[in-house]
Structure 1
Amino acid sequence: MTEPLVTILDDEPEIRQLLADTLQEAGFRTMSFGRATEFEAALKSCQPDLCLVDLSLPDRDGLTLVHRLALEQGATVIIISGRAQVQDRITGLELGADDYIIKPFDPSEVVARIRARLRKGKATKSSGDTAQFEGWTAHFDRFTLEDIEGTETPFSHAEGAVLRLFLESPKRLVTRAYMQETLGGAAGESFDRAMDVRISRLRTKLQEDPKNPRLIKTIYGAGYIFLGDVSWR
């Protein structure tokens, strides 16, 4: 079995070396980059299991890169940044990051969060790669929603995790606490805001009426219920 590949994008050589050494000791393969252009070029010939991305890059806006990775490539992304403000964490999660680690960090915590995120990724494959519901088909192998006419709309890895959670629990209450426990990340304002944004984007992609959604219903003070019939294959 091939060890998971983790890419490290950070403009500080000491941070790259620290992360690479720690992850290799923990059994991961790594590739390290100091510039976004080098990282994006490497992605044409490799597919990492997880990307560690710093936001303060010399040649590219880190948040824009995170959003593109999550939406266009369905990549699992963990931000590692010195930006500690709540709004920075909220923005990063809103744009599709799966987790946010603040510098300075404990290397063992980074390893633990990577392992937890990869375990969650494996667990989400238990039902299959494709779900059909109410005229829609969700392709989790390529991160797209297909409508009845065959038009496909991409969704991010983080949006896909929320969608799969709903599709695996149709017509059952999904509480905020369960979402936090299942999807990971620290509870609080940043997690709640990120979930609100991801659900709003999913509703838009499913062509839902925001004032009266038909599929993803909000149960105020409790959580959400997905009302469609779902079949997996």
Structure 2
Amino acid sequence: MPRPRTRKAPAERAAEIVTAATALAREQGLSALTLRAVAERAGITSGLVAHYQPSMDDLVARVYTDLVEEEVRDVERVVEAAADPARRLGALIDTLMDGARDELTVVWVEGWAMARRSDALAEAVRAQMQRWQTLVEGIVAEGCRTGAFSTTEPGEVAWELIGMIDGLNAQSLARGTDTTRFAHRTARAAEALVGAASGTIPVARS
């Protein structure tokens, strides 16, 4: 006898679809999120996915936001454990360039590219970029208040630091090389940008 099909509550089914899409994006990137692929990962029909997620653009934006917010929270925990602004900046560089976040680098790179064709994703990308800006700018501004840093433009410096780290990670991913070897150089460049004494931003990798 065929097994009876269990009808799930709408909220449970919708959450199941988002979970499947998130796992797929983590493994294969945002571009893998097609109606058919998400349905296969969730073990349901494409029609059921379309019923609960009528806009794939909205689903992609939701998945992007969930993945990046998880990364931001993880990095915040690492940074907050450091004792002072210089060490916090070093911890930020270390954890973002340790080679363990390649799947998130793919999500970021594809998010930037795909956002040109999706208003929902563009809004999500801008919101998450602002979250990173706020995190890094807060570290730099605190360093300025304590006298560890001397820049008068913490916001602009934060943007430059994020761009430097993102660029190196994206380049390393494309080249198939190891980003960790650039951590020491990035820390020395960060010292110049924030106006810190040479050698005061520590990183674990040299």
TM-score, normalised to structure 1's length?
0.27
Bigger strand share? 1
Structure whose alpha-carbon radius of gyration is higher: 2
TM-score, normalised to structure 2's length?
0.30
Bigger helix share? 2
